[in-house]
């Protein structure tokens, strides 16, 4: 457990606008596209690659692999690092006779058949959560952005709460769960975010002291034994001095992942800009939850609520709304304007479902998109 005093000092020494990116991929049998428990094998082989051995990490199940950029000095640096790691990972998987998938859930995998990796952390998670942990076979994108000051980081998280459903709608890529069309755009969020404790939209804390008191309460009551068991969809990361956004499905194509990473970075930096200007926290959790459900159910095909005006707006305009809001921060930090395709991952899959394609056909198309866009990525430096 990170000490709260040390965590506060880490935030006070943090640097604004550093960026770290984490992406989770499914490890697949190349013929059947079933989940394949080969993480340990890939991890061992990755030790011969100077880039990948620093970037590769395990997740809850042995058929999942994560790559991490590490701390980039800015967004462009983080993206360069992540592209190099992606290219190395996909080349390694090809060499080892594996495929990698990038949708929020695997369409037909049976969670009861998945093996958990043997680490102290994940043994603790499984022992503590039982079915809730075993049920979680999901894949996501996390983005960390450096925020200086512990009070400021907590208030940035407060400010971002209402943005979480919008980012989820943009990122949705998981219409399937348990070999069924779930009728959702982000089945991952329903399976993971709505099941894990201390997950989803957090409360407003208002200050570092209030947040530290909450974490201390969890420690004192043996509710957690390490801070990473606080799974909120936006949280101050006590070890890194960052604000971490965790709401998004992993992205099917590399271009979408880069664009989403840029958009999340802009949202965090804009929230910091707003906090510095004295802006209030976002609305009540019960209102934000209405938008979260809409994002889970309909993604960008539905409507989201403008919580300030209590009116519905087409969700398809979400990217434009977020770009308008983040324009000051993007200009200040030279982030530019990220570009997204006309349809996101869930929409592309749902269009195929509506045309009569089978789950196997839909997933094969997604895996092909993933392989063709991620596998040839290299660092541009």
pLDDT at residue 204 greater than cutoff 70: yes
Average pLDDT over residues 88-114: 97
The string of DSSP codes covering 170-211 is HH--B-EETTEE-S-SBHHIIIIITTSTTEESPPP--SHHHH
Tens digit of each residue's pLDDT (9 = 90 or more) over 295-308: 999 999 999 999 99
pLDDT of residue 378: 62
Contact call for residues 167 and 264 (beta carbons, < 8 A): yes
d(CA 101, CA 230): 27
Give mean pLDDT, residues 37-42.
97
Residue 381 pLDDT more than 60? Answer: no
Q: What is the pLDDT of residue 123?
A: 86
Tens of pLDDT, residue by residue over 127-147, are 999 999 999 999 999 999 999
pLDDT the model gives residue 151: 98
Domains contained in the chain, CATH given? 4-374 (3.30.590.20)
pLDDT at residue 1 is higher than 90 = no
344 φ, ψ to 5°? -85, -175
Mean pLDDT (whole number) for 12-21: 98
Mean pLDDT over residues 180-197, rounded? 97
% residues pLDDT > 70 (the chain) = 99
What does the mean pLDDT of the chain come to?
Answer: 96
**pLDDT grade for 118, boundaries at 50, 70 and 90:** confident
Checking if the pLDDT of 282 tops 90, the result is no
């Amino acid at each position: 457990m990170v000490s709260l005093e040390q965590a506060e000092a880490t935030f006070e020494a943090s640097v604004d606008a550093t960026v770290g990116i984490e992406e989770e991929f499914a490890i697949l049998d190349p013929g059947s596209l079933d989940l394949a428990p080969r993480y340990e094998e890939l991890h061992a082989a990755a030790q011969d690659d100077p880039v990948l051995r620093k970037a590769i990490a395990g997740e809850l199940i042995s058929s999942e692999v994560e790559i991490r950029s590490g701390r980039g000095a800015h967004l462009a640096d983080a993206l360069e690092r992540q592209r190099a790691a992606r290219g190395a990972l996909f080349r390694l998987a090809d060499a080892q006779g594996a495929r990698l998938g990038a949708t929020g859930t695997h369409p037909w995998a049976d969670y009861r058949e998945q093996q958990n990796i043997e680490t102290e952390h994940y043994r603790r998670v499984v022992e503590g959560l039982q079915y809730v942990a075993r049920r979680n076979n999901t894949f996501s994108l996390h983005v960390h952005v450096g925020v200086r000051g512990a009070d400021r980081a907590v208030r940035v998280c407060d400010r971002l709460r209402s943005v979480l459903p919008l980012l989820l709608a943009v990122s949705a890529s998981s219409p399937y769960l348990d070999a069924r069309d779930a009728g959702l755009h982000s089945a991952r969020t329903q399976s993971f975010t709505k099941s894990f404790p201390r997950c989803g939209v957090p409360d407003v804390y208002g200050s570092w002291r209030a947040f530290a008191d909450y974490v201390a309460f969890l420690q004192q009551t043996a509710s957690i034994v390490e801070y990473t068991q606080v799974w909120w969809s936006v949280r101050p990361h006590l070890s890194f001095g960052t604000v971490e956004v965790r709401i998004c499905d992993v992205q099917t194509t590399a271009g979408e992942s880069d664009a989403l990473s840029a958009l999340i970075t802009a949202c965090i930096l804009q929230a910091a800009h707003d906090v510095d200007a004295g802006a209030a926290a976002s609305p009540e959790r019960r209102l934000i939850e209405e938008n979260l459900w809409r994002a889970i159910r309909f993604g960008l095909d539905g409507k989201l609520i403008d919580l300030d005006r209590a009116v519905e707006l087409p969700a398809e305009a979400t990217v434009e709304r977020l770009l308008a809001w983040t324009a000051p921060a993007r200009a200040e930090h030279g982030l530019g304007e990220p570009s997204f395709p006309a349809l996101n991952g869930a929409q592309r899959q749902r269009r195929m479902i509506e045309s009569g394609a089978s789950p196997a056909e839909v997933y094969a198309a997604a895996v092909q998109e993933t392989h063709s866009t991620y596998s040839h990525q290299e660092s541009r430096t």
